[in-house]
Amino acid sequence: MFDELKEGIRDIEFLSNPTVGEVRIGCPEAMTAAFVPAIVERLWRQYPRIVVHVVNAQTAEQEFRELRERSVDLMVGRVLKPLADDDITMEVLCEDEFFVVAGSRNRWVRRPKTTLEELRDEPWVLFPTNSLIASYVAEALRANGLEPPRESVTSFSLHARMQLLASGRFLTVMFGSVLRRNAKPWSLRVLPIDLGIPPVPIAIFTLKNRILSPMAELFIKHARAVSKALTSNR
């Protein structure tokens, strides 16, 4: 009841001045490296006085604690398993594919042709072994007759990943959305390897029957536009 009252007040404030407002987004760090900033930039161009609160929240395990506690308006993340909760609404926006990536100084970027088997014993930065995404990648590789590369570093930290790639020694598996936004600033290169891993959907999660604020609705609208641009640029 208090949440609905608060959202009603936010609706009135928006109607009185539609150029201002705030929205609270929950997402994992990988979403803050590309997808969510692209939405915020697009939204901010139209509403420069909007305040966006980005909260670190995991969506892969689908616990949705922040949504249920109403500390965020919506969540953005990748879908690694079927949605099992009846109180959550999911809207799939687009799909995110996988690439083998190295820094421009890495010796393997000069090879016109490479196989994953050749790279298996190179230093790799991978997702933590006990994570859902690591299991997804490993199972998909084995289904294609490939063994996962030997891990040297495991971390969800994109900052650590970029720094290690920039050294010219490490390799990684990276989502396409992250790669496109960070390839030029970090001098990243894609190695010519088809992993055969099915792309992962990116989705917006909201609490069913909860009234969203006007700014949350606008965020979703711009998320759809960013997703469309991401798909058309492949």
Tens of pLDDT, residues 100-110: 999 999 999 99
Separation CA 138–CA 126 (nearest Å): 11
How is residue 45 annotated by DSSP? H
CATH homologous superfamily for the domain 2-95+200-232: Periplasmic binding protein-like II (3.40.190.10)
State the pLDDT at residue 74.
98
Identify the band that residue 49 occupies on the pLDDT scale cut at 50, 70 and 90. confident
- Please tell me the pTM assigned to this model: 0.87
- 98-190 maps to which CATH number? 3.40.190.10
Q: What is the mean pLDDT of residues 26-33?
A: 93
Q: Is 39 exposed, middle or buried (0-12, 13-18, 19+ CB in 10 A)?
A: buried
pLDDT of residue 230: 81
User: What proportion of the chain, given as a percentage, has pLDDT over 70?
Assistant: 91
Task: Write down the pLDDT at residue 187.
Answer: 97
Give dist(CA 228, CA 94) in Å, integer: 7
pLDDT digits (tens, 9 = 90+) for 213-223: 889 999 999 99
* pLDDT the model gives residue 116: 94
Which residues does 52 contact at the CB level (< 8 Å), separation at least 6? 22, 23, 25, 40, 43, 44, 219
Domain ranges across the chain: 2-95+200-232, 98-190
Q: Is it the case that residue 111 has pLDDT exceeding 90?
A: yes
On the question of pLDDT at 18 being above 90, the answer is no
- Tens of pLDDT, residues 131-184: 999 999 999 999 999 999 999 999 999 999 999 999 999 999 999 999 999 999
Q: Residue 7 has what pLDDT?
A: 55
- Decide if 2-95+200-232 and 98-190 have a common fold: yes
pLDDT of 9: 52
- The mean-pLDDT minimum among 2-16, 21-35, 105-119, 197-211 falls in 2-16
